[in-house]
Structure 1
Amino acid sequence: MGKNNRHQKNLKSERAKVKLKAKKTKPLPKGLNVTDTSFKVKKIVIREQLKQQNESEILSRRKLNVKDLLSRLQHYNSSVRQEAVKELKEILQQYSTEILSSQLNALLQGIAALSLDREKDIRRDSLKVLNLILSPISSEQLAPYFDVLISYLCCAMTHIAPNIKEDSLMFLDVIVQNCAGLLAKSSHKILPNFLDMISKLNVESQPGRQLTTNLNSKNTSVKWRIKVLSRLCSILSSIVNDKKSQQTKNLINDNKVIHIGKELKYILIHDQFKKQVCHINFDTNDTSANHNSESVLTFKDLTKYVNVLMPLMFDSWIEVCPKDQTSYSDLIISNEASILLKNILDVIYFIIEYINVLESSSNTSEMSVWLKNNFQNSVLKNLLVKFPYSQIKTVQRTRKRQEDFAKMELNTKCLEQNLQICHIYVWFTSVHNSGSLDKELCNHILDYLNESLESWSSTDNSALPALIRTLRTLFLKASKIWYKNHINLGNTLKIIISTYSQPPKKELHFQLFNILSEIILDHNLVELHNEEAFQDFVSSLPDLLLRKSIYDNTIQMLNCIALRYRKWIENELLQKREAIIENAKNIEIIGSADEKCSRLTICNLFHFTDSQVYY
């Protein structure tokens, strides 16, 4: 009953609904309601899997050759690009010689372009591959394609994305490591980018540049400037080394090539160098036309760059340097400040070194005078007033008691930085220019050098190049000016000799002896030669002939001393004559081209006594 009653109700509700009348439609024309099966089917072909590979062709683990991998470097999918880079890396690690001989241009183009990739991992992996490409090839092979690398490097250094700009410094590291000489020749394209990385141009009403801050970067402004300046040092070092090698090459060519001109009367034919035939040109007196004397960075370009760079570096230093300080007392600085100071001093050193190299070939001091007149006061004001510096070094205790969890702070001397400051100031004083020296500051510098020499230990050897540069500049270049200003160097010279005479500290011992030898051979250093400590040192040199080994240049130096300072060593030579001549038969001579001639030179040191010459 219940079910039938429900059915009746449903029927009534259906009848009560409004009925929609269906429109009459025309039937479809004949044939349109039939499925058309006349289409054609093609097979799906995966070419990489089905194509035949040459058995001698180098393939990756996924059976792709170098050409296929290079095409995938431009794929829109980052995973495909990254996988292609990794496979290229694996191939280059095994078959670098075979691939580079035929695919160098394509590889450089494809890999260098990834330095601008938006994915960090791809950029980093591409630099590892680039290092594998550049390390086995010579500069001559790379030269035709080097502009490609420089173009991408400049794009990366000036990129709008901070991450790409930061990784461009790693790109630069790879190039410096593998082809520094070629990089030096393109330095004029790269150097301006360093300024853009740490500063920005002011408005037209205020010309010049001002430092920028990195608000959206993981690196602080100080850390970023340290990274930029350290790479700038690498570039400047490459420029200096390239210029030195160029001068050395020109010097060798000067010995080999004879340029015939109107004023030439004769040619020596009995020297060791083979002559090279040159075309005679009597219409010009320029005998240096065949030499590549063009500088990779001209003095004009250098002055423009240094005028902008120096104020920026000093402003960077002012930001991190503590303000409260009395003159000439140890200033304690942070670890970041210490690293920044070292980079600033390195940049100044390479600028000075490049000026020295340029002036050595031009025989002028115009560039040195320019640098001194423009920046000596800035160096004194920003660096020397607070000299010397000490560094706060934080040490974590190893014991784990609760009261020992705190960090312990120690003050360590910034030896290398302080010695670099000494070198820069001494170099400024060596520039021939009117004006008297600051005696108080000079004595302060000497006191620091004396203290450093007396307390030198093997742990300080990292600062040895800075020490030797300072001493060489002080004694060989600036000593006459210091003596003229009544600043005596005798005590420092005495300490050097005393340090040399102590049990040898290998590297320090060897370097100090080289400096003393140069002082001996330079006849212009009369003031130093008159020092009592110097005369005592010269008189003790015959003892070197009684040792088991001796350098050939030391023998030649002793020969010059016997001629120039005979009175100082005559007694020592006569007293030890028999022992020296006997030892000359067995002594080991290091660095001699003709060992027999070197032994005869030792014996002939006594010719002034009996006029006997050994041959």
Structure 2
Amino acid sequence: MTHISEGIQEDSLKVLDVLLEAYPTLLTDRSSILLKNFVELISHQQLSKRLKSREKLSWMLSVNPNRRVTSQQWRLNVLTRLKKFLQAVVDGSSEIEDEGLQEQKDGPRSARTPICISWKVHANNQQHIQLFENGGLRPKINSSFRLRSLASVMDSAEKGLSSAENLKGFIEIIIPLLIECWIEASPAQSAPILGNLLESESQQLMQQVLSIIHLLWKLTKRHDETYKMELWLRMNYLVDFKHHFMRHFPYSLQETVKHKKKDSCKG
């Protein structure tokens, strides 16, 4: 995804669409890698001295004038995939919770036994894989067979956004970038009123920004009892949300211009 070639970057997003549509679980298991790639596609790191005299690395939106599409269109392409990925993470977590509740209702006998498969042995016709609980002409539709990714087998420490620490670190990086995208897409405050101020592309970008924040909010609520993530999110970003998302709402521009016209007429 972060290849130096812009064409490969664009193709990687198309492949990502296919995987998110066909088997999103294979991607959600590698969320720590993908989330970093999403950030690097639209921004770059720089030294910041905001915290007194201590320097730290922060992220800022990047601009590439040589890209075939505009910077705003490229950010829209990336954020659209990020939203789909986060939606897959939220949906996947919900499915796991629902399965746990269902097994509790059904009793201890409903516990599912995983099937370990060696693909080399299977390729040599030495191991039979039974996908369904019963054979015959009418197998059960609700099968326990699942395709397990290599990440869950080889690296059990990979927790992705299921870890409160990882989620908090990602939020601290992505929300400032999302706010910058929102500000960039918002109509200029000094623009004349000549029909609609908000272009379709800008509207789509702003929609993706809000959708991503909404999904992040859902993920923080799952860690709220232990880590008070929801309270942390409110304390750190609620003021920014109100300032940027509501204070300069597009229609307030028309009221401002009307008042200016009235004042000029009185003068």
| Common fold: TM-score over 0.5 | yes
1:190 and 1:324 map into 2 onto residues whose CA distance is 36
The answer to whether residue 229 in structure 2 is matched with residue 367 in structure 1 is yes
Map of 2:88 onto structure 1 = 238
1:332 aligns with 2:197: yes
TM-score, normalised by the number of residues in structure 2 = 0.67
CA–CA separation in structure 2 for the residues paired with 1:202 and 1:249: 44
Ranges in structure 1 where 5+ consecutive residues have no aligned partner: 1-156, 259-273, 278-291, 326-330, 391-615
| Letter aligned with residue 351 of structure 1 | L
Measured after TM superposition, the shift of residue 332 of structure 1 is 3.4
Mapping for residues 157-556 of structure 1, pairs under 5 Å: 157-203=1-47, 205=55, 207-258=57-108, 296-297=160-161, 298-324=163-189, 332-359=197-224, 363=225, 366-387=228-249
CA deviation after TM superposition for structure 1 residue 160, in Å: 0.8
Deviation at 1:387, TM superposition (A): 2.9
- Pairing of 1:571-610 with structure 2 (within 5 A): none
CA positional deviation for 1:365: 7.2
Shift of 1:213: 0.5
CA distance in 2, matches of 1:164, 1:276: 44
Read off the aligned partner of 1:333 and give its amino acid letter: L
| Secondary structure at the counterpart of residue 207 of structure 1 | strand
**Secondary structure of 1:202's aligned partner:** strand
Contact 1:313 1:344 in 2 (8 A): yes
Q: Which has the larger radius of gyration?
A: 1
Whether the 8 Å contact between 2:28 and 2:85 is mirrored in structure 1 is yes
Letter in structure 2 aligned against 1:366: K
Q: What does the per-residue CA deviation read over 1:268-316, in whole Å, with 9 as the maximum and x for residues that have no partner?
A: xxxxxx5669xxxxxxxxxxxxxx9x96521110110110111111112
Query: Is the 8 Å Cα contact of residues 240 and 350 (structure 1) preserved in structure 2?
Result: yes
- Could you say what secondary structure the match of 1:214 adopts? coil
Unaligned runs of 5+ in 2: 49-54, 113-155, 191-195, 253-267
State the shift of 1:366 in Å: 0.6
Partners in 2 of 1:202 and 1:371 — Cα distance? Answer: 24
Instruction: Point out which structure has higher relative CO (alpha carbons under 8 A, 6+ apart).
Output: 2
Aligned residue for 1:387, secondary structure, equals coil
Residues in 1 aligned to 2:99 and 2:236: alpha-carbon distance in whole angstroms = 33
CA contact (8 A) 2:76 2:208 kept: yes
> Secondary structure of 1:370's partner?
helix
The 2-side partners of 1:354 and 1:276 are apart by 27
The 8 Å contact of residues 220 and 230 in structure 2, kept in 1 or not, is answered as yes
Shift of 1:175: 0.5
Distance in 2 separating the partners of 1:364 and 1:387: 36
Residue 227 of structure 1 deviates from its aligned partner by: 0.4
Which runs of at least 4 in structure 1 moved beyond 4 Å after TM superposition?
274-277
Seen in structure 2, the aligned counterparts of structure 1 residues 161 and 169 have a Cα distance that, compared at 3 Å, is same
Counterpart amino acid of 2:98? T
The answer on whether the counterparts of 2:29 and 2:160 sit within 8 Å (CA) in structure 1 is yes
What is the CA deviation profile of residues 332-361 of structure 1, one whole-angstrom value per residue up to 9, with x for unaligned ones?
3222211110010110011112223444xx
Q: Map residues 18-97 of structure 1 onto 2, 5 A cutoff.
A: none
What is the SS of the residue equivalent to 2:169? Answer: helix
SS, match of residue 339 in structure 1:
helix
* 1:483-511 deviation digits (Å, cap 9, x = unpaired): xxxxxxxxxxxxxxxxxxxxxxxxxxxxx
Checking the alignment, whether the CA contact within 8 Å between 1:243 and 1:295 is kept in structure 2 is no
CA distance in structure 1 between the partners assigned to 2:23 and 2:59 by the alignment: 31
Is contact 1:194–1:228 with CA below 8 Å preserved after alignment? yes
TM-score, scaled to structure 1: 0.30
The 1:201/1:181 distance shift into structure 2, 3 A limit, reads: same
Distance 1:382 1:248, change over 3 A: same
The one-character-per-residue Cα deviations of 1:184-237 (angstroms, maximum 9, x if unpaired) are: 122122110011001111147552011110211111000000000000001100
Q: CA deviation at 1:167?
A: 1.5
Q: Which amino acid aligns with 1:317?
A: W
Partners of 1:206 and 1:356 in 2: how far apart?
29
Alpha-carbon distance in 1 for matches of 2:170, 2:104: 33
Counterpart Cα distance in 2 of 1:364 and 1:323: 42
State whether residues 43 and 60 of structure 2, in contact with CA within 8 Å, keep that contact through their aligned partners in structure 1. yes
Asked if the contact 1:243–1:296 (Cα under 8 Å) also holds between the matched residues in 2, the reply is no
User: Partner amino acid for 1:178?
Assistant: A
Name the SS for the 2:23 alignment partner.
helix
